[in-house]
Amino acid sequence: MNRRAPELALVSGFLLALPIAAFVLWAMGDVTGALLAGVGLLYPFGLYAVYHDDDPTTVLPTRVVAGVGTVAGLVLLADALATADGQVATAALRGTFLGLLVAAPTWAYAVVYTPARRLPEGRILLLAGGVAGAALLLAGLLVGTAFGAASALLLWVLGALAARAAGFYAPEDTRLIAVGVGVVAGVAVLFAALLAGAVSAAAMLSAVALALAPAVYYGLTVETASFE
């Protein structure tokens, strides 16, 4: 493959995404819609460029990419709060989910392509993702929106990916126990919702997130079992 192909793909993505995002913003005055449209068009080209480039950090520095993704996520959160119609908590969780949806791929890129020695300790990354995700899941349950659980799942997966990239490998038995605990916790949430007569999309997605997150973590690290 031509060495320039990844860079050309990235340039093509920008040339396609920027006009479309600008048009959506001009025609609809929707900041969130414009940003999501632009990102939705740009990210596939970015993924192609990263996958086919031997060293994508020469064109896409990890800190710059993560910083741009973070700013885009904060813009989505701010726009959700600015356009909230009385449901501030729900809007905040919706904005948080959309912000994470945009920022998480850039953070994942930064984590994967940053040398492990320059990353924080893996246990800290895993704990940070777990605590932040649990807080969002609880907030979603209290507010009654599925965006909390969806955000939590994104953070848990990102925390697991970051911990793995930083060199933290939990013992296989621990990972298997975590999978079982996740399933039990998910079932417990469903039963609690049934007993309280409050079965909702938020409760169901929270149960799914609790059951799925440890399984995804195990799937991300299963290939390391033979090295432990």
Does pLDDT of 106 surpass 70? yes
Q: What mean pLDDT do residues 150-170 have?
A: 89
Determine contact, residues 59/6, Cβ cutoff 8 Å.
yes
The pLDDT > 90 percentage for the chain reads 47
Mapping DSSP to helix (H, G, I), strand (E, B) and coil, where does residue 145 land?
coil
Does pLDDT of 163 surpass 70? yes
DSSP assignment letter at 114 = S
> 139 vs 108, 148, 153, CA distance in Å?
24, 6, 13
Residue 94 pLDDT: 94
Does pLDDT of 202 surpass 60? yes
Residue 226 pLDDT: 45
Does pLDDT of 58 surpass 50? yes
CA distance from start to end of the chain: 37
> 203 vs 74, 141, 187, 207, CA distance in Å?
26, 6, 10, 6
**pTM for this entry:** 0.87
Determine contact, residues 120/151, Cβ cutoff 8 Å.
no
- The H-assigned helical ranges of the chain are 5-28, 31-52, 62-82, 88-113, 122-143, 147-165, 172-196, 201-221
Determine contact, residues 102/37, Cβ cutoff 8 Å.
no
Determine contact, residues 135/149, Cβ cutoff 8 Å.
no
Which of 130, 150, 155 lies closest to 140 in space, CA to CA? 150
Residue 1 pLDDT: 38
Determine contact, residues 99/152, Cβ cutoff 8 Å.
no
Residue 4 pLDDT: 54
Residue 168 pLDDT: 85
Which of 181, 70, 172 lies closest to 130 in space, CA to CA? 181
| Residue 66's pLDDT band (cuts 50, 70, 90) | very high
